[in-house]
Chain A
Amino acid sequence: MSDKTTITLTVNGVPRTIACVPRKTLADALREDCRLTGTHVGCEHGVCGACTVMVNGAPVRSCLMFAVQAEGAEVRTVEGLAPEGGLSVLQQAFIDHHALQCGFCTPGFLMLITGALQKDPDMSDEELTEVLSSNLCRCTGYRNIVRAALAAAPAIRASVRETAA
Chain B
Amino acid sequence: MQDHSLPRLPQDHNHPPRRSAYIGRAVTRLEDRPLVLGAGRFVGDMDVPHQLWARVVRSAHAVGRIAGIDTSAARAMPGVAAVWTAEDLGNLPHIPFRATKIEGLDPYTQPCLAKDRVRYVGEPVAIVFAEDPYLAEDAAEAVFAEIDEDMAPILDARAEPGEFAPGHSSAPLTLTKGYGDVDAAFAGAAHVVELDLAIGRHSGIPMETRGALAAWDHGRERLDLWGATKRPHWNRDRLAEMFGLSPSQVALHEPHVGGGFGIRGELYPEDILVCLAAMRLGRPVKWVEDRREHMMAANQSREQQHLIRAAVDAEGRLLAIDETLHHDQGAYVRTHGARVADMSIGLLLGPYRVPAYAARAHFRLTAKTPAATYRAPSRFESTFVRERLMDAIATRTGLDPLDLRRRNFIASSEMPFDRHMTALESDVILDSGDYEGLLGKAAEFCGLDALRAEAAERRAKGECVGVGLGYFVEKSGLGPSELVRLTVHPDGGIEIVTGAASLGQGMETAVAQIAADTLGADYQACRVIHGDTDRISHGWGAHASRVTVMTGEATRRAAETVRAKACEMAASLLDCTPDAINIDGGIATCRTSDASVTLAEIAAALDPVSPKRGDRDPGLAAEAWYHNKHMNYPYGAHVALVIIDRDTGHVRLDRYWITYDVGRAINPAMIEGQIVGGLAQGLGGALLEEFRFDDQGQPLSVTFADYLMPTSAEMPDCRVQILQDAPSPLNPLGIKGSGEAGVTGAGAAIACAIDDALQRPGLVTRLPVTPQYLRARIAEYDAARAGDAI
Contact = CB atoms under 8 A, between A and B. Distances in A.
Interface of A: 21, 23-24, 31, 36-45, 47-48, 50, 77-79, 81-82, 87, 91, 94-98, 100-107, 110, 129-130, 132-147
Contacts, number: 174
A87 B204 CA distance: 31
A43 B291 CA distance: 5
A5 to B, nearest CB: 14
Nearest to B713: A133
Give the most central of A78, A81, A98: most B CB within 10 Å: A98
Contacts of B206: 102, 104, 138
10 contacts: A42-B208, A79-B37, A87-B36, A94-B36, A96-B28, A97-B2, A100-B32, A103-B31, A141-B715, A143-B718
Given A48-B207, A96-B1, A141 B35 contact: no
A152 to B, nearest CB: 12
B134 A138 contact: no
Give the most central of A87, A101, A144: most B CB within 10 Å: A101
Contacts of B672: 98
Contact of A40 (B42, B674, B703): B42
A2 B39 CA distance: 31
Contact of A44 (B32, B291, B676, B677): B291
A54 B676 CA distance: 29
A38 B709 CA distance: 23
Interface in B180-228: 204-209
Given A82-B37, A141-B742, A142-B711, 12 more contacts: A37-B45, A42-B209, A79-B38, A87-B36, A95-B32, A101-B259, A102-B503, A132-B712, A133-B713, A138-B709, A139-B259, A143-B718
A102 B712 contact: no
A38 B39 contact: yes
B161 interface: no
Contact of A138 (B33, B205, B670, B715): B205
Contacts of A47: 703-705
B259 A141 contact: no
Given A47-B703, A139-B259, A98 B503 contact: no
A75 B530 CA distance: 35
A91 to B, nearest CB: 4
A110 B36 contact: yes
Contact of A42 (B33, B207, B676): B207
Interface in B61-78: none
Contacts of B504: 101-104, 139
Nearest to A101: B504
Given A38-B37, A103-B31, A144 B676 contact: yes
B677 A107 contact: no
B431 to A, nearest CB: 27
Given A40-B42, A97-B1, A104 B36 contact: no
Contacts of B330: none
A139 B503 CA distance: 10
A129 B712 contact: yes
Nearest to B1: A96
Given A95-B36, A102-B257, A102-B258, A140 B713 contact: no
A78 B712 contact: no
Contacts of A100: 32, 35-36
A138 B208 CA distance: 10
Nearest to B135: A2
Nearest to B208: A104
A78 B37 contact: yes
Nearest to B703: A45
B655 interface: no
Contacts of B679: 141
A90 to B, nearest CB: 8
Contacts of A87: 33, 36-37
A139 B677 contact: yes
A70 B391 CA distance: 58
Contacts of B258: 40, 102-105
Contacts of A141: 673, 676-680, 715, 718, 742
A44 B290 CA distance: 8
B505 interface: yes
A129 B290 CA distance: 29
B711 A133 contact: yes
A34 B684 CA distance: 37
Contacts of B291: 42-45, 48
